[in-house]
Amino acid sequence: MPPNDRPPASILAQALRLDSASGLAIPSQRAIATEIPVSVIYGDAPYAVMMASPGDSEDFAYGFSLTEGLIRAASEIRSVKVGPQAKGLALEIELAPGRFREHLARRRSIAGRTSCGLCGVETVDQLPQAEKLNRAPPIAARAIFSALANLDRNQKLNALTHAVHAAAFCSREGAIRAVREDVGRHNALDKLIGALIREGVSPREGFILVTSRASFEMVEKTAIFGATTLVAISAPTSLAIERAEALGLTLAAIARSDSLMVFSGALDANDGAGPEVAAS
C-alpha cells in the first residue's frame, strides 16, 4: 500500500466553540489526531490489534517485534507489507524461518489485547525480559536540558493536534536525532526503536526521551533496545523505578526545561568535569 494512500495523520473535525464572555456558540474546525486499529500479523496468524496513529507503520512493525521478543535484530524480519483493512491497517510481517518457528511455538493468548503491551499475556513469566545493561558513561544533565528545549519544535503532529505522544532518540550531546509520534505512548516508543534498528543506530550513542509517564513497559522497551538512559517528562511508576534499578538503567523523570529528578542510576552534572548526580 503506497504511503500516500494510507490514512492521514490528522483530520479536520467540525465543532462548536463556546465563548464564555459572549455566550455564543461559534462554528469552528479543529485538527484531530487520527486513531485507527492496526492489526499485527505474523505469517498468516493474527497476533495483536493496536490502536495507533497511521504513520511510520514499517518502523512500528520492527520496533513492536523487537520489544515483544519476537526478533533480536532487524535482519530477522524478511518483509513488512502494509495494507488496508476495515477502518484501519494490517501489518503483515514475514519473519526469518527460525524466528517464525519460535513464534509459532510460543504459547500466547491475544484476547483483549490493547496498546498497553501486556494485556493478553497469560503469566508474568511470558513478559518480554530485558537483560541487565552494561554500564555506560553517564549522560550529561546539560545534554538532557538541551534536548528538552528543542523537543517541542520536533513534534509536528502534536503541534497540530495537541493529542499525541512523542519518543525521541537524542545524542550524548543532546541533539535530537529521531522522533516518532503516536496516539499511544508505547506505540511512539516502538516506532522510534523500529526506526533506529532499521538504520543500525547503536543504543549507546545517546538516550531516549519520552513525553509520557515512565511506566514499567517504557523502561522494559528501552532496555530491550539497549539504551542505558530513559528520560520522561511525566512521573515514573513504582514498578518502573524498581525495574530500572534491576536493569541498571538510568531513569530521570518529571523533566522540565530547568529541572529533573533522577530516580535510578546517575547523570553527569558537569559534562565530565564534576561528580555524578545519582539516585539515592
| Model pLDDT for residues 163-177, shown as the tens digit of each residue | 999 999 999 999 999
| Rounded Cα distance, 249 and 262, in Å | 11
Mean of the pLDDT values across residues 82-109?
82
Percent of the chain with pLDDT over 90: 76
Range 155-160, long-range pairs (CB < 8 A, 24+ positions):
155/179, 155/181, 155/211, 156/181, 157/9, 157/10, 157/33, 157/53, 157/55, 157/181, 158/211, 160/10, 160/31
| Model pLDDT for residues 44-95, shown as the tens digit of each residue | 889 999 999 999 999 999 999 999 999 999 999 999 999 999 889 999 999 9
pLDDT at 36: 96
Which grid coordinates are listed for 147?
534536548
Measured at the CA of 9, the angle between CA 185 and CA 115, to 5 degrees, comes to: 30
Which CATH code is given to the segment(s) 141-278?
3.40.140.10
pLDDT at 128: 59
| pLDDT range class, residue 124, cuts 50, 70, 90 | low
Mean pLDDT (the chain) is 89
| Rounded Cα distance, 231 and 263, in Å | 10
| 141-278 has the same fold as 36-126 | no
| Model pLDDT for residues 2-36, shown as the tens digit of each residue | 566 689 999 999 998 998 888 899 999 999 999 99
Q: What is the CA radius of gyration of the chain?
A: 20
pLDDT at 274: 52
Beta bridge partners of 92: 41, 81
Mean of the pLDDT values across residues 103-126?
51
pLDDT at 115: 45
Q: Say yes or no: domain 36-126 is CATH 3.40.1480.10.
A: no
Mean of the pLDDT values across residues 247-263?
95
pLDDT at 23: 84
- Of the candidates 46, 105, 96, the residue with the CA atom closest to the CA atom of residue 71: 96
Active site residues: 116
Q: With 90 as the cut, is the pLDDT of residue 273 above it? A: no
- pTM score, two decimals? 0.89
Count of residues making up the chain:
280
When mean pLDDT is compared across 84-88, 138-142, 186-190, the lowest value belongs to 84-88
Secondary structure percentages of the chain, helix, strand, coil, to 5: 30, 30, 35
* Domain ranges, ordered by start, for the chain: 3-33, 36-126, 141-278
With a CB cutoff of 8 Å and minimum separation 6, the contacts of 192 are 59, 63, 167, 168, 169, 178, 179, 180, 208
Mean of the pLDDT values across residues 142-168?
97
Q: With 80 as the cut, is the pLDDT of residue 260 above it? A: yes
pLDDT at 270: 75
pLDDT at 114: 44
- Of the candidates 159, 120, 98, 105, the residue with the CA atom closest to the CA atom of residue 40: 120
pLDDT at 101: 77
